[in-house]
Homo-oligomer: A and B are copies of this chain.
Amino acid sequence: MPEVHIQSAFDRDLEAIQAMIMKMGGIVETQLLDSVQALEERDDELAAHVRATDKQVDQLEEQINLEAARVIAMRAPIATDLRTVLTVLKISNNLERIGDYAKNLAKRSVVLGQMPQISGAAGSIRRMSKAVEQMLKDALDAYIHRDVELARDVRDRDQDVDQMYNALFREFLTHMMEDPRNITACMHLHFIAKNIERCGDHVTSIAEQVIYLATGEMPSDSRPKADATSAQPIMEDRG
């Protein structure tokens, strides 16, 4: 069997897996948007829908993993090809985790529906999640087209998300210090903001996989890290 034939069979297999990744990405994107909409509009039905969709995402991940294993077993790819298949496992795992965070967000939005509203919070969270959702869309585009520039752009934009998170963290602290009745709601909102920030990290990880696939190297400039609240005291205690 001529080598070109084997190669193109591998390519076909890979395309099929990539199509599943795109499908999974589409569902997860929707989950993220829906969960934040449910939060903003206090829509418990939509929140329930987001939670129900999680099963579909888990099944897709499982299917992708099995298919990848099948391709490795059938085609015994080496070097770059093997790397390409292994990347699929990482990306599907990143997507599954983003879906998980959306599910958690949907759960909390139902709880928050019974609490006093924190002014401005839902809007800020929507802007933050919108940024992450756009990053996700672009990361998947970059993946399909092996577009290194776009992937680098996605990676850079994660810093904006981190900044939005840090600003929200300060906002929530202020609300809590001003009025203890806000504390419980702010704890939940803080979790939500943190989880969206983590979604951004997972999208960044997808972008980095794309850069790795296209260039053979992981981006070397260590990414300006993330959550400043774990690395420094954000706010002096007061009161």
Contact = CB atoms under 8 A, between A and B. Distances in A.
Chain A residues touching B, majority SS: helix
A130 B108 CA distance: 28
Counted per complex, copies of this chain come to 2
Q: How large, as a class, is the contact surface on chain A? A: 35 or more
Contact of A111 (B93, B104, B114, B230): B230
Interface string A74-91: 101110001001100100
A74 B232 CA distance: 48
Contacts of A177: 180, 183
Contact of A235 (B65, B86, B184): B184
Interface of A: 65-66, 69, 72-74, 76-78, 82, 85-86, 89, 93, 104, 107-108, 111, 114-116, 169, 173, 176-177, 179-185, 187-188, 190-191, 194, 229-235, 237-239
B69 A86 contact: yes
